[in-house]
Amino acid sequence: MPRLGQYGMHFSPDHQSFVQLGSSFYTHLSAQSLSSPYWVGRSRSVAKALGLEDNWLEGDEALRALTGNALLPGSQPLASVYSGHQFGQWAGQLGDGRALLLGEMRDAQNLPQEIQLKGAGHTPYSRMGDGRAVLRSSIREFLCSEAMHGLGIPTTRALCVTGSDTPIRREEIETAAVVTRVAPSFIRFGHFEHFAYNGMTEELKKLADYVIDRFYPACKDAANPYAALLEAVSERTAKMIAHWQAVGFCHGVMNTDNMSILGLTMDYGPFQFLDAFDPNHICNHSDDRGRYAYNKQPNIAYWNLFCLGQALLPLISSDGEPDLAVAALEPYKTIFPAELHARMSAKLGLPDAPATESSKAVIEGILKLLAKDKVDYTIFWRRLSHAVATNDFIPTRDMFLDREAFDAWSLSFHEHSAQIPCRPDADLMLKTNPAYVLRNHLGEQAIRAAKTKDFTELERLQELLESPFTEVTGMEAYATFPPDWASTIEISCSS
């Protein structure tokens, strides 16, 4: 594995596990360089987690290597092949069209982590794309990766963003950027679909065995290891989606090739944290049919798991009967609602509250009120936390047009609390309901400044998002209602 310390990242070719799967899984190629790279953003917490020396991330070697202009010692860059369903339709072969896996290293806790560049140039899987990423989308991915980690949501991480004045054409001419992404693995549902749909059962088994050996070793002892793998992935995915729904996060493009086999949030494109609470909200301007609307995310996740089950079926059942695969998906139907109930109960300051008719009514009641009056989701929960702490509910009540309806809900909330052993825990609420989330307009402000090579706004926002439950004096503007122009921001698949 890489040798860490004052020299930064080094990779040992003898221990690059994904490479050992064989040439059917990837293509070796080098990144395409960018002219005059510069630092845009860096995550000290990711560098620390990787065991890197702080000064390495300041140096020219790191800048060049993490832009794709120089090869790190021992690196064998590759782009992996996968397929997938996009917007519900089989899209055939896809793959890392603008991403390169540099290699694998051990982090500060001796756990394996893959290092990947996104935006490093054209690959055999780019199809009609140029293999590049633009500054705008790279900043959004960098900030959201770290924001999700700060919220405690399973996610890939982002070590840094580098930029270049190299022009890139999207809807308009923009400039290039590269994100360095970090995760134990970037394997997707689509990797399994690729080999299954191409009848490559030997490679499918090799991939499944690899994932089980490295990430789900308990499955090896199951009566059917591949059904156990599907069940374990279903459980992790259910927990991840419950996190999303509770915090008001919309992914925007939940294609099967954007779903992590490890239950990590990945591929941050047209995402959004809800402003006004609207269960039907569609954050992706390209999603004209609303397939990936906020309230559809739980069912889409199950649909994607069903696709994964179909891909694994040749390994699960020798006669092609789907019974075991379908059974392996069943835990999702119980784990997701249980996890979501637990997270919503924590938002109400009621940990370990049983899922009774009373508790469900309280949760459903407030969500209906929030939707009816289009109340700001994040601010409501934060104000409610302070209200429980101070017993002053007026600022929370004033967020509703129908104040009498809120009063009735508040009464039911207190009556429900009186029926259970605990009372609402304000400290828990303040540690569960964030003060800061990456709203679209906050990201847009950081992007606009970064286009002039002013990164102070990005750094300030990054710092707040890394500790989203800690209110900082003087930073109230980052925790208040979005401006009117925020509703005009359109985020699409090109974002």
Specify the 3-state DSSP secondary structure of 16.
coil
Token pair of 430, please?
């303040």
Q: Would you put residue 277 in left (φ > 0), alpha (ψ -120 to 50) or beta?
A: beta
Give the Cα separation of 225 and 326 in Å (integer). 15
Residue labelled with tokens 């694994």: 312
Helix (H) or strand (E) holding 133: strand 133-134
213 is catalytic: no
Q: Which two tokens stand for residue 250?
A: 């919309």
As a whole number of angstroms, the distance between CA 239 and CA 335 comes to 7
Of 147, 367, 327, nearest to 245 by C-alpha is 367
What angle do helix axes 357-372 and 403-419 make, rounded to 10 degrees? 160
Going by C-alpha positions, the residue among 80, 145, 106 that lies closest to residue 9 is 106
Determine the Cα–Cα distance for residues 296 and 290; give it in Å rounded to an integer. Answer: 9
Q: Dihedral sign, CA of 58, 59, 60, 63?
A: negative
Of 135, 146, 13, 25, whose CA–CA distance to 72 is shortest? Answer: 13
Catalytic residue among 14, 213, 221, 257: 257
Read off φ and ψ for residue 376, nearest 5 degrees.
-60, 120
Catalytic residue annotation: 257
